Amino acid sequence: MFVAKQRKWTSPNNGIEMNFESIFEIILFIVTFVFAEDVDKNGYILYCPCMGRFGNQADHFLGALGFAKGLNRTLALPAWVEYRYGEAHSIQVPFDTYFRVEPLQKFHRVITMEDFMKKIAPEIWPPEKRTAFCYTARGSSRACNPKEGNPFGPFWDTYGVDFVGSEFYGPLHYDVYHRGMAAKWNSKYPPREWPGAHWRTFILLLAFTGAPASFPVQEENRALQKHLVWSETIQRQADQFISKKLPRAFVGIHLRNGMDWCPCRAACRCGRASTCATAPACSRPRSAWATATSGASSPPPCACPARRRSSASSRGPCATSRTSGPCSWPPTATT
């Protein structure tokens, strides 16, 4: 039986003896750091923007950007999730289709999800070490189930990502501006000690099932919107529309009408405005806990819905009838 012997090399200066396998590993380790200049040694944050449409996703993005800044880790810019008529699953639109990346990079380290999966993931995020992070178990089993449902599954499938494990990070939360929360995150999941890290670069990657951010957007993160600059394509389309359709000065508003707005007006009347997604837009700072008044809504709010078990109550405590009055659908003009 022939047995191959390991070839060895002895340093002429100090007599240290090493086999060629060890030498190769050292060279590979050095090359990884020298040529992978873009790899962030502090780690990365990935997430699925899986709540709501564009407005809600933009709210969450500001929070995720602030979260990444607080933890000092690179944020992978996720695709925008769109739901198009006739499509069975969500459509993922690359982040830089709508916004420029460079202004964000001046504020903090970011990389598009497409570039991350192509250039960084092969080095630091092997398929056998892809763990999903969630606060607690969700879905059909005692795990994060990060791909269960739409758009969760289609989003990760866009990048060919499957997960092999779950990590529950509760009771940590996303407010990195108070109570030393950022330090607590980095203490529990340090980039150089997390067992899921790649052995070459010791990188910790936090991949969240949803956005690591509160909704509505936290007060401290609102100003981050100044770093969102429309892409040249979108800006050009907007300029063309304005020049053709809006020759005079104009004011743009985000008008929530119909079934989006009516439950909120009813909530104001019933003293439950904090449940209204848009309440912070019209009340004082930290208004997620503030009370919006009925006078803030026009036309007058709907009558407070009765709290009884019915088909209407299945739509939540602010469910209202849409058959008559100011909450009728389609909405009627009032003065």
- 90: CB partners within 8 A, 6+ apart: 81, 82, 83, 150, 151, 154, 155
Q: Is the pLDDT of residue 20 over 50?
A: yes
Q: How far apart are CA 210 and CA 168, in angstroms?
A: 13
Residue 139 to residues 26, 49, 93: CA-CA distances in angstroms? Answer: 44, 17, 25
Confidence of residue 2 (pLDDT cuts 50, 70, 90): very low
Task: Look up the pTM and report it.
Answer: 0.72
Span 204-218, pLDDT tens digits = 789 999 999 999 999
What digits encode the pLDDT tens for the residues 33-63? 444 557 898 999 999 999 999 999 999 999 9
How confident is the model at residue 169, as a pLDDT?
95
Q: Which residues fall within 8 angstroms of residue 160, CB to CB, at 6 or more apart?
A: 117
Question: What pLDDT does 202 receive?
Answer: 46
Query: Which pLDDT score is estimated for 203?
Result: 56
Mean pLDDT of the residues in the chain: 77
Rg of the chain, C-alpha, whole Å = 26
For residue 49, what pLDDT is reported?
Answer: 96
Q: What is the mean pLDDT of residues 3-31?
A: 51
pLDDT at 45: 97
Tell me the domains of the chain and their CATH numbers.
44-219 (3.40.50.11340), 258-327 (no CATH)
**Residue 139 pLDDT level (bands cut at 50, 70, 90):** confident
pLDDT above 70 covers a percentage of the chain that reads: 62
pLDDT of residue 112: 98
Higher pLDDT, 239 or 25: 239
Residue pLDDT, tens place only, 275-334: 555 555 454 455 444 555 555 555 554 444 454 444 444 444 444 444 444 444 344 444
Q: How far is CA 242 from the centre of its chain?
A: 31
Q: Where are the alpha helices (DSSP H) in the chain?
A: 20-35, 54-71, 102-107, 113-115, 121-124, 152-158, 181-188, 232-245, 262-270
224 Cβ contact list (under 8 Å, min separation 6): 62, 65, 66, 107
Rounded CA gap, 147 and 114, in Å?
A: 18
Question: Mind listing the pLDDT tens digit for each residue in 57-109?
Answer: 999 999 999 999 999 999 999 999 999 998 989 999 999 999 999 999 999 99
